[in-house]
Amino acid sequence: MKSLLPTNPETCPRCMVGRIKRKLIPYSLVVDGQLLSVPRFPAWVCDVCHAYMFDPAALSRLEASLSARQETKKAPRTHRASPPASPAADKPLESF
Ligand SMILES: [Zn+2]
């Protein structure tokens, strides 16, 4: 006799009752101190307990594009050295 509960990827792993469906929901994250929002991010949402998980494939694609963007952002920094901080800057100017 077959198992009553076959491995169904559409069954919610949290409540084991609901079914998860692909939806586009808003997703926001902080990258480099800046809030980045994706208004329609692919996710899986349970129709019973409303648990949701963001689509892992879409997440890794987003992370890949973010890290690529950070690398290009870092590049111009190499030929523009910032001046070294002078120790005198710690003292208040109006000390006389
Ligand atoms: Zn559920």
Within a domain: 39: yes
Q: What is the pLDDT of residues 25-70, one digit of tens each?
A: 999 999 889 999 999 999 999 999 999 999 999 999 999 988 887 7
CA of 46 to the centre of ligand 1 (A): 5
User: The tokens of 66 are what?
Assistant: 């973010």
Establish how many alpha carbons lie within 13 A of residue 5's alpha carbon, considering only the half-sphere containing its beta carbon: 7
CA of 86 to the centre of ligand 1 (A): 58
Q: What are phi and psi of 41, to 5 degrees?
A: -105, 135
Within a domain: 63: yes
Q: Is the pTM of this model over 0.85?
A: no
CA of 57 to the centre of ligand 1 (A): 21
CATH code of the domain covering residue 34? 3.10.20
Within a domain: 95: no
Within a domain: 2: no
Task: Give the per-residue pLDDT at 44.
Answer: 93
CA of 11 to the centre of ligand 1 (A): 8
Within a domain: 13: yes
Number of folded domains that form the chain: 1
Within a domain: 48: yes
User: The tokens of 52 are what?
Assistant: 């949701």
Give the domain range for residue 22: 9-69
